Structure 1
């Protein structure tokens, strides 16, 4: 059949008086042109038919997987296989009189077939990647890393196959010989190998997920993880800049992951005020009566006043000096005021740790620390709650005859 087609055009050119050599050349060019046109038209037809069938099937299914296949052009890439196979079958007909030209064309088409196969594999893998990201249990996993690893192996295998085709060497012999250069390969793909191992460890140990808020001071990262791939982890900072971190740095260096906070019932508020030491004093009975007007601690003061009177009376304490016996201090009552106020505040989670505590005295005063958890963990709301609390506490300080430490006060006092 092949020879009959070739001879038909050959006899046709001979009948017009062409020499044997020129007739063979025209015969080859004619068959080559016809073959290219036929293959191009066939490729267009098959692509349209396969796409139309895929679109129709996708409309009648509920799964998003077939829609993703269309989006990643899998049917379109598969449609190129049949024209390429036909092109390989037409080579003996086109080059029937020029067998030495057929070989490079055949090798070129075989390499194109390898590239097309890799392109199809790439499209399918990207489809799987997009599909896995739609599944809640896999949405925050580093799927990109695994897809990239598969593609690296696929491209390496494709490269070996292409070289084996052009060199007429068995692919297994080529791979065996290439093993001698393994040290160079390891050097070239060092970051890729480290990233692959790191991405597996990150995934297995659940160290970081897409969507996590992380702080990585070494790389200046403070924001949400938006992508985890084989080589890098991308973090979108709160100023909308993007920080790129090597994946292996996630296991070799220390970073802070705020996922525990976001999954908990509250976000911690931990801040202190510096109280001037010279403003601390015992409370006189008159001071206690005045402070009873503060509703938050009115009952507490009444209870403590009665309790202290009973204890001092039982011990027959000389109360001509306030230092004798048991007494209340303005800083102690202020701590109780803060504690009670926090317990009654609707924005504070009172089921979590909550306290107002005094820290080690410093040269700048006595730190009075508020330690509690905000119910609202969103950044803006959290900052608002914390600021609102300290606005109230700072304004309340003078009511307890206390003073806040300020450097200018310290300087003026010294002068």
Structure 2
């Protein structure tokens, strides 16, 4: 016990200032002049402090940081792994050498007051930079942790975190300015009001992006993974990333479009999320029929239509309905325009309804239409307005192509013709309209 007390007293007697003074006295005794003694002392003790700081930093990084990170990896929770991934502990270790150097400046550089103040300011600025790096790692780790939650895709917070980091950086810059100019922080904030207009101009995109990020997230307008279409920015593809200033969209041709975040609020764009969540993808395409080929059905045509599986019941029911109507009003059927009759176009339209209804890849519980559009100089458009069950682009296009291949092939069976422009150099082709 007595030995421990004596050791403690010995340690307490070791004063760094006395060490410096003792070293200076030794130099003076061996004949070194006072000015040179000061320079030698400053250089020597500066080197010693730098070596101590470097060695302390090495030990902390080599052992303490590694041990803490290994311990965090071994824990059952996976959340602390994100802090290791973002190097939070490693960056925090950079404070150690700064603390050692800062605490020794007054001891070593007392004879050089101006240099002492300058070094104090530089170390203080270094502290600010390290703290900003630590906050950056912390916020990114929080973002990574949030991305593991189920609702993170619906409510991304990357823009908010970048906004918080921007505030930290702004505060760090203001404190640095106050240190360099040796003025109070309150004075800096007072002067900041005078240059607010300039700052707003410089950070216009950032401010607009921050406000837009809040609006986009609050209203659930767009999120990473959504398919958006924005022709004004030549974007048509999947949202890869949303940041404070930009939204990255990977187009279907694998190019990447960069859109200012605030543009998604100030301009219009199409989000295909509703289509993807609905379970179907719209097929809206028309084929133009030559109006000269439209006519009443004769007995031969009706006899043929009765043999078509999807038309069999319709033809029989319709003939009974028409006969009943014409008999009721004593219609003279020797003249075709009297009474009601079947037309090849009407039967064809009914055939399309039956064909599409029996198609395995057409959604029956969503909008299902086969309709006529306004006749024009290209004939009378018969439009298919249905939804495919498969939303994948390639599969969707294949389904759509198969349907219209079939339509083109069966048109002659109804004695209908596709409207076409005559050409002299190539085979005539059908005219489609597509929206």
**TM-score of the aligned structures, taking structure 2 as reference length:** 0.91
- Residue 391 (structure 1) aligned with residue 405 (structure 2): yes
Aligned to 2:4: none
Where 1:309 maps in the other structure, the secondary structure is helix
Q: For the residues of structure 2 that align with 1:324 and 1:100, how far apart are their CA atoms?
A: 113
Q: For the residues of structure 1 that align with 2:421 and 2:283, how far apart are their CA atoms?
A: 25
Q: For the residues of structure 1 that align with 2:62 and 2:234, how far apart are their CA atoms?
A: 50
- Aligned ranges for residues 313-328 of structure 1 at < 5 Å? 313-328=327-342
- Residue 40 (structure 1) aligned with residue 54 (structure 2): yes
Q: For the residues of structure 2 that align with 1:96 and 1:111, how far apart are their CA atoms?
A: 20
Q: For the residues of structure 2 that align with 1:149 and 1:49, how far apart are their CA atoms?
A: 35
- Residue of 100, 106, 111 corresponding to 1:86: 100
Once the two structures are TM-superposed, the CA of residue 171 in structure 1 deviates from its matched residue by 0.7
- Aligned ranges for residues 58-73 of structure 1 at < 5 Å? 58-73=72-87
- Residue 285 (structure 1) aligned with residue 332 (structure 2): no
Where 2:317 maps in the other structure, the secondary structure is helix
Q: Give deviations 1:263-288, integer Å, cap 9, x for gaps.
A: 00211111000000000000011110
Deviates more, 1:311-320 or 1:279-288: 311-320
How many residue pairs get aligned? The number is 412
Q: For the residues of structure 2 that align with 1:101 and 1:215, how far apart are their CA atoms?
A: 60
Where 2:340 maps in the other structure, the secondary structure is coil
Aligned to 1:382: 396
Once the two structures are TM-superposed, the CA of residue 201 in structure 1 deviates from its matched residue by 0.9
Once the two structures are TM-superposed, the CA of residue 4 in structure 1 deviates from its matched residue by 0.7
Once the two structures are TM-superposed, the CA of residue 232 in structure 1 deviates from its matched residue by 1.4
Deviates more, 1:311-320 or 1:111-120: 311-320
Give the conservation status (yes or no) of the 8 Å contact 1:132–1:139: no
- Aligned ranges for residues 271-350 of structure 1 at < 5 Å? 271-350=285-364
Q: For the residues of structure 2 that align with 1:131 and 1:46, how far apart are their CA atoms?
A: 26
- Residue 169 (structure 1) aligned with residue 183 (structure 2): yes
Give the conservation status (yes or no) of the 8 Å contact 1:64–1:131: no
Q: Which runs of 5+ in 2 are unaligned?
A: 1-14, 429-435
Q: For the residues of structure 2 that align with 1:407 and 1:7, how far apart are their CA atoms?
A: 106
Give the conservation status (yes or no) of the 8 Å contact 1:230–1:247: yes
- Aligned ranges for residues 194-205 of structure 1 at < 5 Å? 194-205=208-219
* C-alpha RMSD of matched pairs (Å): 1.8
Deviates more, 1:92-101 or 1:387-396: 92-101
Q: For the residues of structure 2 that align with 1:11 and 1:118, how far apart are their CA atoms?
A: 43
- Aligned ranges for residues 172-251 of structure 1 at < 5 Å? 172-251=186-265
**TM-score of the aligned structures, taking structure 1 as reference length:** 0.95
Once the two structures are TM-superposed, the CA of residue 409 in structure 1 deviates from its matched residue by 7.5
Q: Give deviations 1:153-184, integer Å, cap 9, x for gaps.
A: 11111111112112221111221122111111
Q: For the residues of structure 1 that align with 2:141 and 2:157, how far apart are their CA atoms?
A: 12
Once the two structures are TM-superposed, the CA of residue 140 in structure 1 deviates from its matched residue by 4.5
Q: For the residues of structure 2 that align with 1:182 and 1:409, how far apart are their CA atoms?
A: 68
